[in-house]
Chains A and B, each alone.
Chain A
């Protein structure tokens, strides 16, 4: 489904963000990506969503090498990947409904068809009653769930989350993770970057650890590692 083959990314000035990283995420698999800030988690996600291009190596999604994607095709690739951000990146002067509808509007949906899909997505994250609210009136956890609804509204096969619980307290974080689990159980491949080690250890999913751009651990993270 998602495969990194000896991927390196260095920035002008010589900073190496990723150093020959390889891994494969199976279809329908859920995994965590962890490491200290600056270890390369965000860079990995940016390479997948084509915000950045690798300096060396190949990023392959569903058998298609992303290096062959022209810049004009990038928007269409991003429609296949649901992305969730730490700061949720909602449009603050649009309602929750409009925010979630954005990917659908971009793809040309209108009217009842669009409303049905938006309501379904909001229902999945438990925010159906907030559809008419502005993001500023929501709590941090609610805003993050709106971000998730927007990421899944067009049912992408792959979901990426960059520190989705970074600003949330432990209980809310657990709620958010449960939402991801639910999507994973529905067959979506999920990759979550997070430095919340204790939460990850409790979830018992495959965990990849990055350190200074290198993959130093790939497998289950045990509670004792978290300490």
Chain B
């Protein structure tokens, strides 16, 4: 609607019959601007490429570290699952007592699995493995205790420790043992690495933001004359901004995709080397790649970086350009 001339139809939306049509016109104009922004990028390929490369690399490093941490966590969690509490039973317990204790433990919700190694089996194993062989048969009686191996239901060190304290108080238990300090250390190191990753990511992304902002600023300066003309014929700031914001979004899309490609290539390249190592250790380790969700997150971060970077540039520079 015209401000100066009451009743003068101005603009397409004033002449459009319905709300739906106005809405459709808005969508069409947005789509057109996004496509033309893409074409605009093509006109200055060098700057576009440099910006996309900076954004892509800035995202590749933290994303790679993220994949690394994720895989390390997978390795450590496979150890988590394998830790067990050893319960050394008192020497004077009877077989019935042991059976009762096993039933009791199996009923406990904190316990996943109970395995009994009785003293005869332990002795046989010891004989075989230790190499003392015949010397052991001179012993009058079996000095080894019966042992229960208890697997905790929860694999966090803290939960295992709580279970350990509980089992310690059982009547027939002489000694309960759990070696988790190295697991705790590993967990601490992992969280340290994770925080370092986040810090580096934040710094790199700030850098990328500045580069995007600068690229958009150059584009704006390049089109100074055009922006002046648009302002003279009545374009609002938001109309003039829109193509630049779309440019930022496109930079984000391409930058994010570049980061994704680089990570995938790197993992593909590493896969052979990792297969060698895991074969030597006879472990069933499988290298985790980016999930679809993580890919989505990567793209979302890249696009919002593009958008925020261009918005920062646009907000200050487009207002500053005034026709004279």
Contact = CB atoms under 8 A, between A and B. Distances in A.
A78 B232 contact: yes
Nearest to A82: B233
Interface in B39-81: none
Given A89-B232, A91-B229, A110-B28, A64 B3 contact: yes
Interface in A31-85: 49, 51, 61-62, 64, 69, 72-73, 75-80, 83
Contact of B5 (A62, A102, A150): A62
Contacts of B231: 75, 78
B5 A157 contact: yes
B324 A73 contact: no
Interface in A82-114: 83, 89-91, 102-110, 113-114
A154 interface: yes
Contact of B4 (A80, A102, A106, A114): A80
Nearest to A49: B232
Interface stretch (B6-14, B159-167, B309-317): B6-14
B265 interface: no
Nearest to B15: A113
A64 B10 contact: no
B230 interface: yes
B308 to A, nearest CB: 23
Contacts of B323: 51
B99 interface: no
A107 B12 CA distance: 6
A103 B229 CA distance: 10
A108 B30 CA distance: 10
B3 A106 contact: no
A109 B235 contact: no
Q: Please indicate which of the listed interface residues A79, A83, A89 has the most CB atoms of chain B within 10 Å of its own CB.
A: A79
Contacts of A77: 3-4, 234
A104 B25 CA distance: 13
Given A51-B322, A75-B231, A80 B2 contact: yes
A76 B2 contact: yes
Contacts of A154: 10
B29 interface: yes
Interface residues of A, number: 32
B8 A106 contact: no
Interface in B14-29: 15, 25-26, 28-29
B161 to A, nearest CB: 64
A109 B15 CA distance: 9
A108 B13 contact: yes
Contact of B233 (A62, A73, A83): A83
Contact of A51 (B6, B11, B32, B324): B324
Contact of A69 (B3, B10, B235, B322): B3
Interface string A104-133: 111111100110000000000000000000
B294 to A, nearest CB: 39
Nearest to B324: A51
B233 A106 contact: yes
Contacts of B228: 89
B12 A110 contact: yes
A80 B236 contact: no
Given A73-B3, A102-B233, A106-B234, A79 B324 contact: no
Contacts of B11: 79, 107-109
B226 interface: yes
A102 B235 CA distance: 9
A61 B26 CA distance: 31
A150 B233 contact: yes
Interface of A: 49, 51, 61-62, 64, 69, 72-73, 75-80, 83, 89-91, 102-110, 113-114, 150, 154, 157
7 contacts: A62-B6, A69-B3, A75-B236, A76-B10, A102-B230, A110-B28, A110-B29
Interface of B: 2-6, 8, 10-13, 15, 25-26, 28-29, 32, 225-226, 228-237, 239, 322-324
Given A105-B29, A107-B234, 16 more contacts: A49-B232, A64-B4, A73-B3, A76-B234, A79-B233, A79-B234, A80-B10, A83-B232, A89-B225, A91-B226, A91-B229, A102-B229, A102-B233, A106-B233, A106-B236, A113-B12
